[in-house]
Structure formats: C-alpha cells, structure tokens
A = this chain, B = another copy of it.
Amino acid sequence: MTTTLTIRSAAGTYPVVIGPGILSEVGSRLRAQTGDPDGGVFIVTDDTVHALGYADVVQQSCTRAGYAATVTVVPPRDESKSLEMANTLYDRMLDAGIRRNGVVLAVGGGVVGDLAGFVAATYLRGIRFAQIPTTLLAHDSSLGGKVGVNLSRGKNLVGAFHPPIAVWYDVQTLASLPEREWRGGMTEVIKHALIGDKTLFAELAATPMDRYPGDDAAERLVARAAAVKIAVVEADERESGQRMWLNVGHTVGHAVEQLSHYQLNHGEAIAMGLCVEAQLALDLGLADTETRDQISFVLVRHGLPTVPPAFDFTEVVRVLNLDKKHRSNEWTFVLPVRIGRVDIVHGVTETALHKAWQQVLTGEENQK
C-alpha cells in the first residue's frame, strides 16, 4: 500500500508518495513522470545512508529504467551543506555529463536534500530534482521546496525555492534509523500536530511512537504530519505569512542547535525550543498552563529533552539577531496558543524571552 499526497506550488504540482518498498521503484516512477531518460541522473547521498545500500537500490532502479545514473557520497554532517561542497558537486555533475534535462536525486535526510536541492536549483540555472527521504525528520525538510547551504555565520543563509518534481518516501528506510534519530524526527511530527492536527497530538500523547512502529503505522504517521505541512506551504509558498507557522519552536531551537555546535540534533534542539516558546506564550498571556504542559508532556513521552543547556543568554541573543527572519530591532516569534493553533507574534522583547528561558532552565514556574 502507498499513500499519495500532492503539493501545488508556483512551479507546478508534484506528488508525495509514501509507503514501503518505493526505493526500488524510483527509476520506473521517474521514467513514467518525465519520459525521456536523456540528460542523466545524479544521485547524492551521505556515507551513513550509502552504507545501508539505499542509494545503490535507487541507482539500480534507474539503470533498469534506462538512465545513466551515478552516485556521489558526501559526509553525513551539516558541514556538508556548504558552498565548497556544492562546488564539488557541480564538478562531479560536469564529469557525469549531467545536462539541462538531467535529474538530481537526493537520497538521505535533510542535509542531503538541502544540499542536492541547492545544487539542482543552481546548476545550469536550475535542473529538476526529486527528494527520496530516508529519515523521519526529512518528512519536514523534503516538502515545500526550500533548499540551501550554510555559511560559517549561520544556517541556510544561502539558498533558493526550488520544488522537487516528486517526493518518494520509502518508510522501510525508517526501520534502520537509530533510536535517537527516530525520536529527533518525532519532534517535527509533534510540531505538525501542534500546528494543525490536534487529534494526532492527542494520539501521540496517549500512545507515543518512540520507535519505528511498523510499515503501515509509519506510513500513516508520515502522511498525517506531511498533510499539515502541505496545507501550510500551499497557502504560502514564499513564507510571507502562514508558512512562518512552521517556525514554531525553531527560533529558540535554531539558536540552541547552533550554540551546541550541533552536538544536539535538530529534533532535540527544536524540542527544547518548543518548551521555551510555550513558556513564552504562557508568560505573554497567549496560552494557558495546560497547553504548555501538554507540549512538554508529549515531548517527554517520546524521550525528547525539554530543557536547554545553560548557555550564556547573551550568546542566545547574539545568535537570534543573526537570524534572517528578524527585521530591524524587533523579534518575531511563532508561538503555540493552544494545541492545533499557533500565532505569529511581533515585538517580542529580550526581557520576555530571558524570563521564559530562565523559567524553563530552572523549572521555577513549574513549582508554583
């Protein structure tokens, strides 16, 4: 069984196919969707995913479907999302003879998807690419068309909007995820439930999915979280309004992730960010205590951390002020106001954030 969702974007509509066994169908699906195999296929993956054989399965399926397909492997770290690595990939693509009608396939998690997508967006002024996620976290990053690389001064400072021609999501790849990676991915599932699926949120609170739940349950879980994201990005592809909702937990979370020098994974940092931002919403009178506590509860139930390391708060402020989403001298946050609803809040002050940060760190508010 597979579930197929579709995303309407300014550049056209593309399918999101979720289910078991899709990896070996990529070649035939690509051929059915695009026709002519001329132009070549360029598969990008990372060492970890490559060792599991997934890119090879994709390559073989492409070869069977008549494509000349090459695999390029990058280190499995966020540092691979760099202009230098993009430059290396351009060279490999020229070596492989990839033409304007060629296709880039990203087989892996968010790092591979963002990097390969950026390269596809800029090589020969943009060629097609498809996302083949192999992590739970990538149910988020693979949808919506955002691609990019990091600069030394911050994440995703360089990039593009370049929607894929398809997302082919083989949930069986998720069975091989280390538990920590699975749980980190659950943060974004929980975030999507918090934004737009309160039933899913309640189900996860009652019956946590803190490990791979089997093919059918994984397919349903991914499809429901993806459906929330799709609805949001369809309403606002270029992030002028509603798409900002997806940043709930991410303003603080990104700062925490960066200050941890990526020793915390993305999901862990965002879990902490959600808790600080829920406290901030409570302090500002936008959310009630129960909402804050439910958010913390469901994260804890999934083995996720809820209290950030005791970073120097002035460092947190410094990183926040580098964030591309902030204009001038005010901070804009997306805060949870109740389960199933988040709001964009302008004019958040350093003082208010400092208070919420301290409360989460010391657990002070909880003891009242």
Query: On chain A, which size bracket covers the interface?
Result: 35 or more
- Whole-angstrom distance between the alpha carbons of A211 and B79 in the complex? 52
Tell me which of B87, B100, B159, B324 contacts A325 (CB under 8 A). Answer: B100
Query: Does A123 make an interface contact (CB < 8 A)?
Result: yes
- Whole-angstrom distance between the alpha carbons of A124 and B100 in the complex? 25
Taking a contact as CB atoms under 8 Å apart, the answer to whether B94 and A125 are in contact is: no
Taking a contact as CB atoms under 8 Å apart, the answer to whether A157 and B90 are in contact is: yes
Query: Does A160 make an interface contact (CB < 8 A)?
Result: yes
Contact residues of A between 196 and 232, Cβ < 8 Å to B: none
Taking a contact as CB atoms under 8 Å apart, the answer to whether A99 and B327 are in contact is: yes
Taking a contact as CB atoms under 8 Å apart, the answer to whether B160 and A126 are in contact is: yes
Q: Which residues of B contact A159 (CB under 8 A)?
A: 122, 124-126
Tell me which of B86, B94, B160, B322 contacts A153 (CB under 8 A). Answer: B94
Query: Does A315 make an interface contact (CB < 8 A)?
Result: no
Copies of this chain present in the complex amount to 2
- Whole-angstrom distance between the alpha carbons of A171 and B355 in the complex? 58
Whether A157 contacts B124 in the complex (CB less than 8 A), given A324-B99, A327-B99, A327-B101, comes out as yes
Query: Does A116 make an interface contact (CB < 8 A)?
Result: no
Q: Which residues of B contact A344 (CB under 8 A)?
A: none
Q: Which residues of B contact A158 (CB under 8 A)?
A: 90, 122-124
- Whole-angstrom distance between the alpha carbons of A91 and B94 in the complex? 28
- Whole-angstrom distance between the alpha carbons of A124 and B153 in the complex? 12
Taking a contact as CB atoms under 8 Å apart, the answer to whether B122 and A160 are in contact is: yes
- Whole-angstrom distance between the alpha carbons of A112 and B218 in the complex? 50
- Whole-angstrom distance between the alpha carbons of A146 and B146 in the complex? 20
Taking a contact as CB atoms under 8 Å apart, the answer to whether B126 and A161 are in contact is: yes
- Whole-angstrom distance between the alpha carbons of A122 and B156 in the complex? 10
Q: Which residues of B contact A94 (CB under 8 A)?
A: 151, 153-154, 157, 322
Chain A positions 115 through 142: 1 when the CB is less than 8 Å from some CB of chain B, otherwise 0: 0000001111110000000000000000
Tell me which of B125, B151, B324 contacts A91 (CB under 8 A). Answer: B151
Taking a contact as CB atoms under 8 Å apart, the answer to whether A122 and B125 are in contact is: no
A276 smallest CB distance to B (angstroms): 24
- The 30 sampled A-B contact pairs (Cβ below 8 Å) are A38-B327, A38-B328, A39-B327, A83-B83, A87-B151, A90-B151, A90-B157, A94-B157, A94-B322, A99-B324, A99-B327, A100-B324, A100-B327, A101-B327, A122-B122, A122-B148, A122-B160, A124-B157, A124-B158, A124-B159, A124-B324, A125-B146, A125-B148, A125-B156, A125-B159, A125-B160, A125-B161, A126-B160, A126-B161, A160-B160
